[in-house]
Amino acid sequence: PLDESTETVASPLVRNPTGDDSDADDFTIWDRTQATRISTGIKWAFGLELSPEVIIAEANVNKLATDVVQGRRVLEPAFAPMMT
């Protein structure tokens, strides 16, 4: 187990630092600027606009990926992600 000071510093950087049952795909948003940067990256990479509010509300890699796939299917019904 981590001591309290290490846990405080490492918590945004280490998945599940406390050993609780949180989802491993959850991530921490430190501020709106970070959410805006993630939103801009999604727009650039996938041609889909997800607002910073959506990024903050989801804060989960799997949920955001699902949002991107569903959004792309609305824009392009034949869209099929290349996943193995």
pLDDT in tens, 44-79: 999 999 999 999 999 999 999 999 999 999 999 998
- For the chain, the structural domain boundaries read 24-84
Round to whole Å and give the CA distance between 12 and 84: 29
pLDDT at residue number 19: 58
In this predicted structure, the answer to whether residue 11 has a pLDDT above a threshold of 60 is: no
Half-sphere exposure of residue 51, counting CA atoms within 13 Å on the CB side?
3
pTM above 0.75, yes or no: no
